[in-house]
Each structure stands twice: as structure tokens, then as C-alpha cells.
């Protein structure tokens, strides 16, 4: 019961904030709306027995990525947008078609869930405490050790790339 109430509250919050994010004029408010969506998604992770992913999600997104976004938005001193959507009518129509295609997939899922009587992909059902930190850590340092190390190299490359790209002297020589 509590799970159902929590789920629908979080779902409503996530979707509303996401819509607010793409229609709001001010970039700062868009970033703040994304924080609300990310908080709701962290709530979903907790509901799905994945507390470690929820914690990492909050640390990485709210703690690092959103702060970075806010810094850039405030550094760039953007003028207030009068026309915030792309100009050509063609691209607007195309975008709306793409939106409908993806939304159609969601509606197809509704059909599968409520008319065909649920998704059947084997397994599932038994409740266990799978998503705790020790078991993920064990998996990460045994089966996924090489991808883990490659990920660290990727982050190093991203750090160096970001520093070089954002350096002052990239201006063309006048």
C-alpha cells in the first residue's frame, strides 16, 4: 500500500518536473526542475531494492553534475530567452513525431500491462536483498574489474579534456 502511494507520488513528481524542465524560460529553473526529477528517480531506486545505486545517483547527479550545470549557467550570463524553441516549423513537426513514437512505446507497455496480463520474462517474484553495497562491490571488483579500470581511465581523459577545452587561450589570435 505504502509502496503504491509512494510510487505514484514519485511518478507524478518526476513527470511534472521533467515537463517543467523543457518548457521553462529560465535555464536556472530548468536545472532546478531536473534536480526534482532526479530526486524522484532516486526514490524509485530505493523502491526497487537498489539502495547503493540510489546513493551513488544522488552523489553523482545532485552533488556533481547539477552543480556543474548551475555553475556554467551562471557563468555564461545568458540573456532572457524570448523564443526558446527551435525556429523552423519543419523541425518542430519532426520533433513532435519523434515524441509521439516514443510515447507510443509507453502506451504499448500500458496495453501489455493491463490487457495482455503482464510482461513475462521468466524469473522474478521472489524478494531478496540483492542491491546492497557488498554484493555490488564484489561484482564490480571480480567480474567487472577490467571495465571498472577502463572507466577510471575514461574519467581521467574527461578531466584532461575539460581542462584543455575550457582554457582561456583557445581564442583565435587577433
Q: How far is the CB of 2 from other proteins (least distance, A)?
A: 11
Contact call for residue 5 and other proteins (CB under 8 A): no
Q: How far is the CB of 103 from other proteins (least distance, A)?
A: 5
Distances (CA, A) of 17 to 8, 31, 40, 54, 169: 14, 10, 10, 19, 39
Binding mask 61-80 for other proteins (x = CB under 8 A): x--xx--xx--xx-xx-x--
Give the H/E segment covering residue 114: helix 89-114
Nearest by Cα to 18 from 103, 86, 83, 81: 103
Reported residue count of the chain is 174
Contact call for residue 136 and other proteins (CB under 8 A): yes
Q: How far is the CB of 16 from other proteins (least distance, A)?
A: 10
Q: How far is the CB of 36 from other proteins (least distance, A)?
A: 11
Site size toward other proteins, by CB under 8 A: 89
Residues 26-65 that bind other proteins (CB under 8 A): 27, 30-31, 34, 37-38, 41, 44-45, 47-50, 52-53, 56-57, 60-61, 64-65
* Gap between the Cα atoms of 120 and 170, Å rounded: 55
Contact call for residue 9 and other proteins (CB under 8 A): no
Which residue in 80, 90, 105, 115 binds other proteins (CB under 8 A)? Answer: 105
Distances (CA, A) of 51 to 10, 45, 114, 135: 16, 7, 29, 12
Amino acid at each position: 500500500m505504502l509502496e503504491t502511494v509512494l510510487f505514484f507520488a514519485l511518478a507524478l513528481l518526476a513527470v511534472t518536473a521533467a515537463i517543467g524542465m523543457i518548457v521553462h524560460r529560465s535555464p536556472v529553473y530548468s536545472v532546478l526542475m531536473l534536480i526534482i526529477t532526479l530526486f524522484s528517480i532516486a526514490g524509485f531506486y530505493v523502491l526497487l531494492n537498489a539502495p547503493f545505486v540510489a546513493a551513488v545517483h544522488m552523489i553523482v547527479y545532485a552533488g556533481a553534475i547539477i552543480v556543474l550545470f548551475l555553475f556554467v549557467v551562471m557563468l555564461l550570463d545568458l540573456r532572457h530567452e524570448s523564443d526558446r524553441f527551435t525556429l523552423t516549423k519543419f523541425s518542430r513537426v519532426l520533433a513532435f513525431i519523434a515524441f509521439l513514437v516514443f510515447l507510443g512505446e509507453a502506451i504499448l507497455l500500458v496495453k501489455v500491462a493491463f490487457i495482455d496480463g503482464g510482461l513475462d520474462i521468466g524469473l522474478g517474484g521472489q524478494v531478496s536483498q540483492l542491491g546492497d553495497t557488498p554484493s555490488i562491490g564484489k561484482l564490480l571488483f571480480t567480474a567487472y574489474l577490467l571495465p571498472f579500470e577502463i572507466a577510471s581511465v575514461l574519467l581521467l581523459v574527461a578531466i584532461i579534456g575539460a581542462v584543455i577545452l575550457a582554457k582561456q587561450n583557445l581564442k583565435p589570435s587577433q
